Each structure stands twice: as C-alpha cells, then as structure tokens.
Chain A
C-alpha cells in the first residue's frame, strides 16, 4: 500500500536475481482500500500469497483464520530471527501466543517540538516525566499569547488518551479482550492527566478537522509541541521554512516517572493460509527482512526498519530526528489484539471529547465508555464461549 507498494518492486528485483526460479507479482492497493480489499479477497477465495498488513489488522485477519502461523518458520530462520526485532513490535503480530506476521516497518509516536520555545522556557531537553513535562508546558504557556498553546492533541484522535492510559499501566481491555477496562484505576489515571491538559489550557480543544494547517501553526509558534509519527519528519523538513529548520526537534514521550511507552504501529508481512506457494513466499519474507534490504527500503520510503540491526547503519544513526524514534521503539506496546479494536478506539475519543469539553464528568465518561465497549465485544464473548464448549466436548 501507499508509497511502499510503489517501491517494493525495486526490492523484489534483488530477490528474483537470487532465486531465479521464483517470479513475484506485486499488486498495489492504496491504504484506504487495502483493509476492505483484502477482506473481500479472503471471502472471494482470491487471497495473495503474502500481503502487507497494517499491524493492527493482524488480529482481525487471524480471527477469521486467514493467516498462516509463522513461529516454526521464524524459529528456524537465519534472516528473520525473532530476537533482532523490537519485541513490542513483534508482539503486535502475536495473537493467542501464535505469530501471524513478520514486522516489516515500524511506526510509533514521539513529540515534535519547537526547541527554541522549549529553551526559552528554560529546558534544554524534553522532560521525561509527566510532572516535568507539565511544568515545562506551563512555562511555555506563560510566554504565549491568548490563542497559542504549548501542546496540540486533537480531540478526535484516540492515540493520546490510549497512550497515556497504557503508560499508567492500563491493559485497556481485560479478560482476554472480553471486557473494557477503561473505568478501572490505571486507565483513569492516564485519562485524568489527559483531560487536565485541556482544562489547564495547555492544549486547545480542537478536533482534527478544525486544524487546517498544523505546519503553519507550528511555524508561527501557535503550537510548540505535537505528537505524531515518522512520516512527519519529511513533512516538517519540506513544509517549514529554512529559517526554522534548526529550531525543531523530536523527543520520545515522557512517562509517569521516566521515559514512557508509545504504541507499536507499523506494517507486517503475513502469509495467507490458502497460499499454494508457502515455501517460496516465506523465502521472500525472509529476504525482505534482511537488514540491508530493510535499509534500502528505508532510503526509498523513509519508513523505519523493524530490525534493530538496520538501525546501526550510519544513514539512520545520523538522522537526528530518527533518534527519538529509535529510543521510543524500545518502549512500545501493542493495542489489544481484537478485531473490534478500530471501533473501540473510535469510542475512546468520542467519549473522551465529552469529558474534555466539560460536558460529562470523567467518572461518567469512562463508565459509559466501558458500557459501549462491552456491548461491542458481546459477539466476541459469545464466540469464545462457543469455542470453550466445543473444546470441552472435544476433550470428553
């Protein structure tokens, strides 16, 4: 999908040279369509051998039994050894203890910030604890005028409250993903902090669609910090004026008492169960996982490699903006491995907005969120209980 689809054929050429008997056909689909198209392909019995899946989709496709388990293959592999991948990222591909995808590139969140504004507030580096972070933002705010804010976190994004909840130790869902844990103390702690950012005037109460141009706001100093992903490195470099290029930097996220966790995102390569060329497909997956191939991929797309080995290369090691990502990748956590996660994530920010805008108390908000989530997970509970009874019957 996306740029990756355009570029992968260049990588494939190398593979075909090494394996003259194998021909690889590449189909490109835009991100927006891929999810639906792959699902449709599955139902229509027309799946490819391998597909690149957004790693939050892996649980969904595993749930419908579309993917081939990869643990055995990975254990024997020289080129795709589990140990060299960022554990948090690898785990996003593990459902019920079984691995269904090999990480291809990674994605996580860091803070993009105006280093000059942070320095003017007396901080040479981004703080690493919530308390210090808050203090720094208050300091920055004191030097700002009325419609300027230290931090931009759009109210219609689910990642910030989820990240803060994870940092506070919340599992988000409990009982093997059957019930919501949003009303429990850990998530509540993170959520209280999240809401306070808005209520203390540190972040504007704006939805994603209301911010027409984040780069302009950043340039004019209307925003000092913004949480986002690796592709923004390129955007900020291209869209900010030259005069500003030495005045912004990235930093990993602060946590409660020290550097905090972020979400393990990215894409994986998965093998479809119905493939009739599994051995060859696996060889391709291994090839694409080689450190040098991963690096080439990075130079072509700007996507960050999933293998730690690749990061040792100078191109990446010297990219000063990528350093924060490298650091953050050691502390990434996956989202719950349930197919319903996308809808649950939407509910998180929908309810979250009510609390942020002061329309409901935090307590009521989280209670209603849990209610909604429990409703969404009802089918999952039913199917799991069916599996249990079937297993019981089978073991008699």
Chain B
C-alpha cells in the first residue's frame, strides 16, 4: 500500500483515553460455520431496539432483509447459487459433464449432490469498525467517535443527518433512518461492553460463527482456523479484513470467507477516502487558484 499523501490522523483511541483506554475489541466472523439462522439479526434488533422494516419476500434465497442499513446492524447474507457451468443451454452432454467436473475441481463442489453445482454460502455481515474509519473522518459534527474500546459509534444527539458518512463508508454500512433523518449503525453494543458483557449478536450465535473478543487474540484465532481449513482441503477459505496493512488499517470486525468478497457484497480492496484526501484537496486548491487567476485575467487587455 502506497503511503499517504497527507497525514490527517486525528488523535483518538487509545491516546485520548489515557488510563481509561480499554483493549481494542472486535468480531471475528467465521462464515464457514455460519448456518444462516439469523439469530444475530434478531438479537441485535431486540437489544438495540432497532425498528423493523421490510416484512416482504425479496426473492433472494433465504434472505429477506437484504443488506446492512439504518435498521439492520447485523445482516445474514444467504448466497444460493447454481454456479454457471459456462456452457450454453442445449450444449452436448459431454461438454456439460466437463463443465461440472471443473466445478468439482476448482470449487470443491460435489457433483454427487447436485450436478449443476448448487451451493449455499452464509455470512453474517456487520459494521467493520475500521482502524481508519471513513465515516468517522467524514462526520462534520463529531457525532461519530471512537470509544475507549477502539470501536466506532454514532452519538444520536449530535448527528445532524448530513449523510456524508453514508457515501464515505467503503462498505455501505451506514444509512439514514426514514422519518428520523439521522444515521444509525452497529455500536458493537457499546452499552453492553461498558457493562462487561459481550455484544448481543455474538452471545446469540449458536455455532460461534460470530466470535467476540480482544482484536489481537481474534486475529491469532483466525490465522489458526484458516490453516485448519486449508489442511482439510478447503483452499478457498481466506481471511478478509484481518490485515492492519490494508486500505482501512485493518477491520475491527473481520471475516473468514469461502469465496471472493464480492460474492458477499463486500468490496475486494476497500480504501478509506481519507487516504486520498491529499490529492482531493490539492486539486480543489489548484482549481480555486486557477479560477481566481482566470477571472482576473479576463479583465486584462482592451477596454471598450
């Protein structure tokens, strides 16, 4: 990753907290054991009193809640795919068989169960609580702040509904709540953390797909887990967001995925907009100077 053009770090955790600073906590969501039960979504809604919204059917497999937003702070993705075998309808049987074989070889899909490569992937998505959080940097009121646990939280009495964090999040996590105008997102159960309890979603997860803990420890656990999966022949297992060298300085809530991030509605290589602030402001400054000089130049020359 290239260095930053302009260093715009604002002092935050742990510096501003002094002795009150707590170890940084987060989630490690291991999607290889997620069963798509959505207990995390329900627990989150109940504990945080998040309003209900869409009650209909989406037509997107067993996912009727779509994506993260103001009224959904945990979202379980339910990927149901018949992987395209890469041949046109009506192709000769031997070509279809060859394509199915490729599915088996490349994806590890078992054609005995379903010959055209059917699969389910499940994953519980959440705010990433980035080390370099785009929403926090963009917030013009200081409503978004970093807690003593290193997490990122919106203060609802300060949020003025400007919506700038919405376009600054590389993950599309934050959104405005209808009728309210303010922005809401996962707090990593800030209130529960202060009471020395684990977040509601992690407590409700029946398979421990959602693991809560100190970030350093979670990263170690994740590295071990991905190694185990690789040993078992699940070469597609990969960690997502665990690297402090990535475009957001590492996620506070990171994942073990079984396919490319895009499949889960996740960006493959997110970069916090703040890292590009140097070139943004340089261009805006140069344009301002050019404009002023251009207008002044318009007054030169003949006078009629």
Chain B associates with chain A: no
Query: Which residues of B approach A to under 8 Å, CB–CB?
Result: none
Query: Which residues of A approach B to under 8 Å, CB–CB?
Result: none
